[in-house]
Structures are given as C-alpha cells and as structure tokens.
Chains A and B, each alone.
Chain A
Amino acid sequence: MDNYLVDLEKKSISMLREAKAQFKKLAVLWSTGKDSTTSLWLCKKAFYGKIPFPVIHIDTGYKFPQIYEFRDKIVKEWDLDLIIAQNKEALKKGMSPKKGRLECCTLLKTEALKDLLRKEKFDALILSIRRDEHGIRAKERYYSPRDEEFKWDYTDQPAELWDLYVKPSEDFSHMRVHPILHWTEVDVWQYVKQEKLPINPMYFAKNGKRYRSLGCMPCTVPVPSKASTIDEIVQELETTTTPERAGRSQDKEKAYMMQKLRALGYM
C-alpha cells in the first residue's frame, strides 16, 4: 500500500475509534458518494468488518435512481444498519427545488436530519467533508460542535493540537466528526482504486460528461470529461481548474445569497 495513503487511513481510523469510545450514540451519514463510501469503508476497517453504529441516508426523494440502486446493493453486501431520514410532510406538501433551492435543501435535508436527531438522540455524527472541497470547509475541525439549530461558529472552535480531538465541556447538541477532513479529492480516488471500493458508475464519463459530485437530480449536472476510469479521473483532477462542486447548482451559499439579495430588494 502507498505510504501516503497508509498515513491518511491510520489517522482516520484512529479518529473513528476515538469517536466510538467518546460518544454514547454515534451514527455515520452516507450519501452513497465517493467520500462517504470511503468513510464507511474506513468504519468497516476500524471496527473489524462490521460497522457498530447506524448508517444514516438522507433521502430527499429527488435522488438519481442509480443512487438508490447503489445504496440498496451496498446495504446488503456490507450488512449495514441503515436509517433513512426523510421529511415526508414537506414532500407531501409538494416541496421541490422549483419552490426555491435553499428552502428545498433546508426542508428536505437539514430538517429531515434535525427530526431524526431529535428522535434518535445521537450525540455525534460522522460526516465525510474534506477541507479542499470549499473555502468554508477549510475552516472546519475534526471535531466540530453544533447546537440544536445546527449552527456552527467557526470563530470559536476547540484547538486540535498534536492530533488530540477533545470533546468540549460546553453544552452542545451534537458533535460532528470529520474523519477524512485532511484528504483531497485525488486522495479519495487513489484510495478507492487501491481498496477496490464499489463506486457509483455515474462518476465515470459517458458521452463526454461525468458527475464529479452527486446530489439531487434537478440540481446536479454533469461536467465535461473524458475520464472513464479512476486513473483517468486522477489525471484529469491533476490538471483541472474546475471546482469539484461546479455541477452542484444547489450550492447553499449561492442559494443563500440569491435569497438574501432578493430580501434586500436587489433582485
């Protein structure tokens, strides 16, 4: 195994074991994308083949059929304890991206997860965000406390010196644990290749386009690409200047800003 990948894996696995020991009720969020599938695999490795906590999939009802297909296949093969979080009430009332992307994301993703957390009382969630994905994510810590409204104060975070991830003593609703925060997009692909991880075929180019990041059908578009293998994807990433989430038109900050400008009367 590549030494560099060994180091990345070691750090992630020790963090996952630490989290399991520190928190009473832990769960891992899984979108079925490459990053969260990598985290699931790391959880399997950390706990010797069987993930000892639930796997949460937030189902907005607008995901690609390939995502559901992939999810159900892996749940069976990896024997996962899957919990599906869905805001059925909002879907019944007809919530869709047409009614506003920010409202849609807030109700179908954030509120669905909030409801589940209130019900199941998880005190920590494992998320697969990476620092290189977005400027704001670069400010994240490995352990990131959230209040009941999921608010995150990036100006007031615990220090994480010498790889010590300390649970803050202050009151918080739940802790977010980010085991692959230090990985890059290329690292993930190298690791997927090395570990021969199953991956959604939508990531590979068809007719000159591929999905670089997977989201909901109405809000995700493929990016131009000829990369139809992992090696070609890595090669493409080493030269591209296109951001990873370029195909995700529901980018929350963009949606927030659009609505804010409307509220201020600009649009």
Chain B
Amino acid sequence: MIILALDALDLNLIQKYDCRNLKQTEYGQTDISEFSEPRTVVLWASFLTGKNMEAKIPLKTQWKFKLDPEETFLKFFKPFKAIDVPSFSFKQESHAEERKLLKKYFNNKGTIEEYDAAVWKYHEENKKEFFNSIGKFDLVMGYFNLADAIGHLSFGISEKMRAIYADLEKIAKEVKGSDDFILVISDHGMKAIGRYGDHTRNGFYSANRKLGLKIPKITDFYNLMRQR
C-alpha cells in the first residue's frame, strides 16, 4: 500500500491545473468541520488513529507530539515506512530551518525566496527517500508539505502554485503503475488571503480503486486501512 500524504492539497487547484494522476479513480473532499481549527498535527494524528485527537494535542508542543505505532493503523502493516509524518515521524531538525526562515520573513529580515528554497530542498530529500522505499515495505506513507509550506506565503502567486502541483502530480504519476492500493490524502485545503494562503475546512482524498465514499471524515480512513 502507498499513501501520499500531501499537506494542504486542495481540490480547487487540482481541478484548475487538471491533475489527473492526483485524482486517480475516485476522488473527493473530506469533511474536517468537527475540528475547531484545521491544525496539521491534529489532523494527521486523527487520520492515523481514527479518533479526533484535538483535545490530546496541545498547540504549543504539537510538533513534538508523537504517537506510538500501536495507536495507529500502521500496526496492521509489517514492515511499514512512514516518512516525515507529523505526529509520528516528523523530522524536527529538517523543518527547524523552515521555521527559522518563516520567522525571519515575518520579522522583515528574510525573503520568501530563501524560505521557498529551503522548503523545496527538504521536499526533494523526502521524495528521494519515498521512491527508494517503494517495493521494500508493506506500506509506504510519504508526507510532503510543499503545497502547505509554500502556499502559506505564496498561495496567490499562481506560477508558484502551478509548479508545486505539477511536481505533486509527477509523484502521483510515478507511483501510478504500482499494483498496490494507492491513497492520496490531504489534511485540509487552502484558500487565498491576498498573496498568502490559509487553511480551509475541506481536505482531499483519492484512491486508485472505487471506494464509494461520500465526503468522508478524516478519521474514517482508519477502518479502511484495517480492512486492507
């Protein structure tokens, strides 16, 4: 099984840029309206455990929050590989540089360009690890924060978003040939606030098989994984 966990992947942009490989056979939006804020760590933890984890993950320490594999559907897959997944295998050190550059920009000491460059660099590293893992594990879950991290500062710049969606579409195209069950999932979508981007309350999912889901909750996928 392959899970492409794409932070802030938004159905509207998938349609706009005609990303057919990201849409696969069945696709749609997910409903995350039960959460008071569309927080990335909370949503991925809820996806992995099948439970609303909002109350259990304090805002201030959320990026350090770590689930035990036994609490997640990953326990049904042996061996599994989860790359950079928030609340499970998030690479604190790699993302520290991003955070530093984000603060620098808001303090008027840095530029969006240097921030973008750092985000793309980690994205390429994760991609390499993701493709190297395919075929070696029962389940490979690759998390990519490109659309979210760059979208927050540049969602209104269509050239940048087009390039990001083109790259994510390329990843989806490369895994497409696999016989595995492939799930593409996002935690939330994104909307423009001028040139910036803010989380929306709708995520995205797609599968390479017919699942017959109708606006599922992000917690609904736990049972699906268990059945697989």
Contacts and interface: CB of A to CB of B under 8 A. Distances in A.
Same complex for A and B? Answer yes
A136 interface: yes
Contacts of A136: 194
Interface string B172-196: 0000000000000000000001111
Interface in B101-116: 102-103, 106, 108
A134 B193 CA distance: 12
A76 B68 CA distance: 73
Contact of A256 (B38, B108, B153, B193): B193
Interface centre among A253, A258, A266 (most CB of B within 10 A): A266
Interface centre among B37, B99, B106, B199 (most CB of A within 10 A): B106
B127 interface: no
B99 A257 contact: no
B194 A260 contact: no
B147 interface: no
A249 B106 contact: no
B57 to A, nearest CB: 9
B152 A261 contact: yes
A267 B107 CA distance: 12
Interface residues of B, number: 23
B63 interface: yes
Taking residues whose C-beta sits less than 8 angstroms from the other chain, chain A's interface range is: 10 to 19
Contacts of A265: 39-41, 59-60, 62-63
Nearest to A136: B194
Contacts of A266: 99, 102, 152
B99 A254 contact: no
B151 to A, nearest CB: 11
A217 to B, nearest CB: 16
A1 interface: no
Contacts of B28: none
A253 B196 CA distance: 7
A161 interface: no
Interface of B: 37-41, 59-60, 62-63, 99, 102-103, 106, 108, 152-153, 156, 193-196, 198-199
14 contacts: A135-B195, A249-B108, A253-B193, A253-B196, A254-B196, A257-B196, A261-B152, A264-B37, A264-B199, A265-B39, A265-B41, A266-B99, A267-B102, A267-B106
